[in-house]
Amino acid sequence: MPKKELVIYHSATGNTEKIAKEIASQIDCDLLKINKNDNPTQGRVSIVVKIVKQIIQRNQFKTDLNNIDLSSYNRIYIGSPCWFYTYTPPIEQFLKTTDYHNNEVVFFLTHGGGPRKTIEKFKASMIDGKYIGYMDFENVNKMREEDIKKEVNNQLIHFKQ
């Protein structure tokens, strides 16, 4: 039986979304966005207000995907933007509130060139699942569609089953 995979991500300004969609397209798997209402087309002020709220409410913040059932997936790719050297509050909430103990986990990060220890922090904060590696994408906003395809393909090679 083929192994079932899922790409799940948070994206405030669209970069992580581009990578998530490309990964899902290249491995032909399901795609799920955490907090679908965080939409880059909604205007700059509104995005900034949301980002600030999510950061301030870090510990009480709720995602719209709490307690989703991931038991049918063998592997999940979890994608986050880097915010102040760590993954975002929606990803933090997802890790705290979802049962992913049956899943292999690949983390993917988008950032502006200074992620510092975000990947190590993600790995350390996983409370379930089996971490098998990460993918790292810098300055996605400056990449052309073709570059995104190539870069995703280059990094995905290590994880293709």
Ligand X SMILES: Cc1cc2nc3c(=O)[nH]c(=O)nc-3n(C[C@H](O)[C@H](O)[C@H](O)COP(=O)(O)O)c2cc1C
The binding site for ligand X (CB under 6 A) comprises 11-17, 51, 81-85, 110-115, 140
DSSP H helical segments within 98-158, as ranges?
118-125, 145-156
Shortest spacing between CB 102 and ligand X, in angstroms: 27
Asked if 79 contacts 16 with a C-beta cutoff of 8 angstroms, the reply is yes
Shortest spacing between CB 112 and ligand X, in angstroms: 3
Alpha-carbon span 79 to 91, nearest angstrom: 8
For ligand X, give the closer residue by CB, 72 or 154: 154
Shortest spacing between CB 86 and ligand X, in angstroms: 8
Give the residue among 12, 20, 29, 4 at the shortest CA–CA distance from 109.
20
For ligand X, give the closer residue by CB, 16 or 103: 16
Residue 58: HSE in the Cβ half-sphere, 13 Å Cα cutoff: 8
Shortest spacing between CB 144 and ligand X, in angstroms: 15
For ligand X, give the closer residue by CB, 48 or 127: 48
